[in-house]
Amino acid sequence: MLQDVYKMKFSNSGFEVFMAENGKKALEIAKKEKIDIVITDSIMPEMDGVELIKTLRNGEYDKSIQIIMLSNMSEPEDRNKVMQLGANGFIAKSDFTPAELVIEVKKIIGE
């Protein structure tokens, strides 16, 4: 249900949104579509967000894709790990409403 709220907020803000229920599905979409931004959770079935970041940054995918980790795990070491792997941003879910998340993502991507 929360994914649907995020999708609506981003769509209403002018983003074309593709939804993936896990990291493997996100990779399939990234191969087929022109993706500008990936917003991933840290915990997902089949492939977690850390593995997704590693895979997106391994050279097979468009290096210009911006990656933002959206997670409840907000310890400094969690944030540092994903940033070192190549994420462009880290957002703690508890810090933002869906509408505020759109604003924060726009800040991260420079809009």
Q: What percent of the chain has pLDDT over 70?
A: 98
Domain holding 64: CATH number?
3.40.50.2300
Mean pLDDT of 28-57: 93
pLDDT digits (tens, 9 = 90+) for 2-22: 889 999 999 999 999 999 989
Q: What whole-number percentage of the chain has pLDDT above 90?
A: 68
The reply to whether 55 falls in a domain is yes
Tell me whether residue 110 is in a domain: no
Given a cut of 80, whether residue 74 has pLDDT beyond it is: no
User: Where is 5: in which H helix or E strand?
Assistant: helix 2-12
Res 55 pLDDT > 90: yes
pLDDT (0 to 100) of residue 94:
86
Confidence of residue 66 (pLDDT cuts 50, 70, 90): very high
Q: Is 2 helix (H, G, I), strand (E, B) or coil?
A: helix
Integer angstrom CA distances of residue 9 from 2, 17, 45, 81: 11, 10, 24, 28
Please give the mean pLDDT across all residues of the chain.
91
For the chain, how many structural domains are there in total? 1
Domain that holds residue 74: 2-104
Q: Is residue 111 part of a domain?
A: no
